[in-house]
Amino acid sequence: MTEKTLIVNALAAKTWYWLKMNDTSVRVQRPEPLAVAAEGEVSPAAEPLACVTGMGEELTGLLAESPATRMRVDAKAGGAQTVRLHLAPNSGATEAAVVDVHAAEGADLTLVMDCDRPAGAKGATVIAQTRLQLGKGAKVRLIQLWLNRGQDVVLNDIGAVCGEKADFALSQIYLGAEKVYAGAEIALEGAKSQTEVRQTYQAEKNQRFDFNDNVRHIGRKTVCRIDVSGVLNDGASKLFRGTIDLQKGAVGADGAEYENVLMLGEAASNQTIPLILCSEEDVKGNHGATIGRLDEGLLFYLTSRGLSEEQVCEMIASARLNAACEALGDPRAACQVMAYANIDAPCGEDRDDA
Amino acid sequence: MEEKTRVDDIDRSMYDIRNEDRDAYRLGAGLTPELVEQLSREKGDPDWMREFRLKSLEIYNQLPVPDWGPSIEGLDMDKIVTYVRPNTKMQGEWSEVPQDIKSTFDALGIPEAERKYLAGVGAQYDSELVYHNLRKEVAEQGVVYLDFESSLRSEYADMVREHFMTLVPPTDHKFAALHGAVWSGGSFVYVPKNVEVEIPLQSYFRLNAKGAGQFEHTLIIVDEGAKLHFIEGCSAPRYNVANLHAGCVELFVRKGASLRYSTIENWSRNMYNLNTKRATVAEGGTMEWVSGSFGSHVSYLYPMTILRGEKSRMEFTGITFAGHDQNLDTGAKVVHSAPNTSSYINTKSISKGGGVSTFRSAVVVGANAKGSRSAVSCQSLMLDDISRSDTIPAIDVRTPDADVGHEAQIGRISDESVFYLMSRGISEEEARAMIVSGFADNVSKELPMEYAIEMNNLIRMEMKGSIG
């Protein structure tokens, strides 16, 4: 059992060290293979897909020299295809899986990955790296549900390269785990390629989430939108790094990132650093962030109708999660999240759109 | 035709006036304990200051060069002369200032500005002040405005020692330590309780000596209920070797007091501007920064405000214009350390001709800053495809009882706006200059009119030849 300290989630452009946002160091053991149950066609990976990922080279290096589970998903043109991967780590272990996705020209793939751990399970360290190559006009929706009860540590690393007119949608929901380190690097290389990143999290107790999203606009008329929304309860903390990198040649590119953080816990803390890097004239880049308490007007309105402040907070948090589930576009995944969160909402066969 | 006349009116040559080096004394280049001791002897420092300088030098030698901002590889400290004393003592009358130095300040419009709308002026030439004056009626209000060296020997010496480099300690970063070791010149201002200084004070810093550094220290204390507007201007002629500016500004805003600190910085394009400015604000106090950064080859400039008292507030309004051969890394920092504090940061940046402009900020809301609010807005304009513009805003919130908002946009001048103005008979160059001036309106409307005109002239000068 060798343990290594990795530097992960490095900010695309460094800033003051005293803010402690430039990167994160994490100690992990050399991982063993992670059990992955697949629904849909997968195959063992042969050649690793070369791709820059959000968490960085040190994690990729660790995975390269470890016996991680490696698999490949091939999506071809000719109709929508869905693959589901259920990650099942052993309690107390450090395990990893690397998934390479090749989406050919005109392919349409929905890949759902979940890590839904039973209550009371002893903590595990789960490492997942997903690398995607999208061909011309390919469409890939990657849905990830991190529903790790208890003391788990999650390292979730993504790298995607999008060809001309490719469309990559990434939806992530983080509800459990004691610590989450997640990075996504998306290269919009082809003209008119686009991506939408939607991250939703709810943290409580002393949960710590550490995110790093980086979208590189390389091709002309590329479009990205990053939406991050979360609730911090108790003494939970979160660091979000989000970068829109409008590179030279990305004429007509349009990048936007928005973050909304609802801080409910007295000891909660939030760090946000949304970057726009720009070396092209004819582009648009926007970011906005709203961080703080519940809107006073809304709180007054709801408490005046007989709800306690605690009930209002719960209701708002549930509503946010509900909205994120709706946006997944996959009823089965939505139901899984609602069940985990004990939210009483129409689900599965009860749903009109099921 | 009118456009051309306006541009000619602000010929850059007024900033490029270069006098012969006829200094009375200059230290050898580089940084050693012996040179620092020599500087201290030349300035007649009290013992504590000499020890402070030597300790700062030790810290300087231990701290790393920052690796997160623009490259300062072109700055060789072994070649920088840290102290150049001009060939005159400080005067209280412009007529007594040597002609070549006076001509420089005349060209920059300082004596005229003093006559028209300033309560007092300090003019520094290289490492020492050559002129310092305060209007009689302002002095009679009890306002103290001294050159820094005199303040150390004045009845305010204890007050100066109590505050000197406490807000910006030498351990803060490498160039704060450098400043602690070799500071020279600058001003001390004390505004007594409940005194409102109706018209601004101004310090102007001129660095004439080739290959030299300027390290002036500005310490301002605005006592309870008092009010002050302080203006800082700076420029230098262009040389083909690096010059360095590592000044330090420490501002103490007491309970219920108000301070506005305005800067129009127009250093020459061989200047490394590694300046540190910091303010602390007590209960109910207000700190306002107005900042225009136009010059220098490389800038690191992020005025910081610590909102230490309940209901204290800060506002930062800034503009940065990075042209050819400039890498300007500017922004602001604010720390909310008390309940019900508020901050507002509003910046604009423009990149042109291969210039690099970076907006960098930090908003930190501590656990005890309940009920606090902060808003940051930064807008960047790219004028061509060979320039660069980055925004790096950090937010750290440690209490749920706060509201923090942030917004940023990067874009270009819309073709529609240029077309609209051109269809009304305005040339394309003039149309683009007008749009950029309008973009900078947030800063110019916060400046006294004469300074707003100077700033708009600088923008027009930078925009000259921007077509094609």
The pLDDT value given to residue B267? 85
The answer on pLDDT for A4 being more than 60 is yes
The pLDDT value given to residue A107? 98
Instruction: Please tell me the distance from the alpha carbon of residue B80 to that of residue B72, in angstroms, as a whole number.
Output: 13
Residues A107 and A226 both lie in one domain: yes
Which residue of chain A is at minimal alpha-carbon distance from B403?
A: A292
Q: And the tokens for A53?
A: 């990922």
Contact between A272 and B406 using a beta-carbon 8 Å cutoff = yes
Domain membership flag for residue A298: no
Residues A328 and A215 both lie in one domain: no
Domain membership flag for residue A127: yes
Domain membership flag for residue A308: yes
Residues A19 and A132 both lie in one domain: yes
Domain membership flag for residue A353: no
pLDDT band at B28 (very low <50, low <70, confident <90, very high): confident
The pLDDT value given to residue B83? 83
Q: And the tokens for B458?
A: 């600088």
Contact between A277 and B390 using a beta-carbon 8 Å cutoff = yes
Residues A85 and A185 both lie in one domain: yes
Residues A187 and A251 both lie in one domain: yes
Count of alpha carbons within 13 angstroms of residue A266, beta-carbon side: 1
For residue B413, give every residue at least 6 positions away whose Cβ sits within 8 Å of its Cβ, in sequence order, or none: B381, B383, B432, B435, B436
The pLDDT value given to residue B3? 34
Contact between B410 and A246 using a beta-carbon 8 Å cutoff = yes
Structural domain range at position A327: 303-348
- Kindly state the helix (H) or strand (E) to which residue A140 belongs, with its residue range: strand A139-147
Lowest-confidence segment of A117-121, B164-168, B263-267, B385-389 by average pLDDT: A117-121
Contact between A286 and B408 using a beta-carbon 8 Å cutoff = yes
Mean pLDDT value of segment B83-96: 78
Q: Most A CBs within 10 Å: which of B399, B413, B467, as the mutation test of the A interface?
A: B399
The percent of residues in chain A predicted with pLDDT above 70, rounded, is: 97
Give tens-digit pLDDT for B389-428.
Answer: 999 999 999 999 999 999 999 988 888 888 888 998 888 8
Q: Which residue type, as a one-letter code, is found at position A131?
A: R
Q: And the tokens for B465?
A: 């030849």
Domain membership flag for residue B349: yes
Contact between A269 and B391 using a beta-carbon 8 Å cutoff = no
Write down the residue that tokens 């028209």 correspond to.
B116
Count of alpha carbons within 13 angstroms of residue A28, beta-carbon side: 31
Domain membership flag for residue B446: no
Domain membership flag for residue B431: no
Domain membership flag for residue A354: no
Structural domain range at position B230: 25-414
Give tens-digit pLDDT for B169-227.
Answer: 999 999 999 999 999 999 999 999 999 998 899 888 888 788 888 999 999 999 999 99
Give tens-digit pLDDT for A290-347.
Answer: 998 888 888 889 889 989 888 998 888 899 999 999 999 999 999 999 999 887 666 6
Q: Which residue has the higher pLDDT, A244 or B80?
A: A244
Question: Of A76-80, B113-117, B260-264, B304-308, which has the strongest mean pLDDT?
Answer: B304-308
Residues A242 and A332 both lie in one domain: no
Angle among Cα A98, A101, A105 to the nearest 5 degrees reads 170
Residues A249 and A339 both lie in one domain: no
Domain membership flag for residue B13: no
Residues A310 and A236 both lie in one domain: no
Residues A278 and A339 both lie in one domain: no
Q: Which residue type, as a one-letter code, is found at position B60?
A: Y
Residues A209 and A327 both lie in one domain: no
pLDDT band at B29 (very low <50, low <70, confident <90, very high): confident
Q: What is the mean pLDDT of chain A?
A: 93
Domain membership flag for residue B330: yes
Closest CA–CA distance from residue B374 to any residue of chain A (Å) = 10
Mean pLDDT value of segment A180-187: 98
Domain membership flag for residue B456: no
Of A278, A281, A292, the CB nearest to B402: A292
Instruction: Please tell me the distance from the alpha carbon of residue A100 to that of residue A134, in angstroms, as a whole number.
Output: 11
Of B68, B360, B405, the CB nearest to A289: B405
Residues A103 and A72 both lie in one domain: yes
Closest CA–CA distance from residue A264 to any residue of chain B (Å) = 6
Residues facing A70 on adjacent strands: A98
How many structural domains does chain A have?
A: 2
Residues A29 and A119 both lie in one domain: yes
How many structural domains does chain B have?
A: 1
Of B401, B405, B412, the CB nearest to A282: B412
Instruction: Please tell me the distance from the alpha carbon of residue B108 to that of residue B204, in angstroms, as a whole number.
Output: 10
Residues facing A186 on adjacent strands: A160, A215
The pLDDT value given to residue B10? 36
A65 touches chain B (CB under 8 A): no
Write down the residue that tokens 């099942």 correspond to.
A88
Domain membership flag for residue B463: no
Write the ipTM.
Answer: 0.94
Q: Which residue type, as a one-letter code, is found at position B194?
A: N
Q: Which residue has the higher pLDDT, B398 or B11?
A: B398
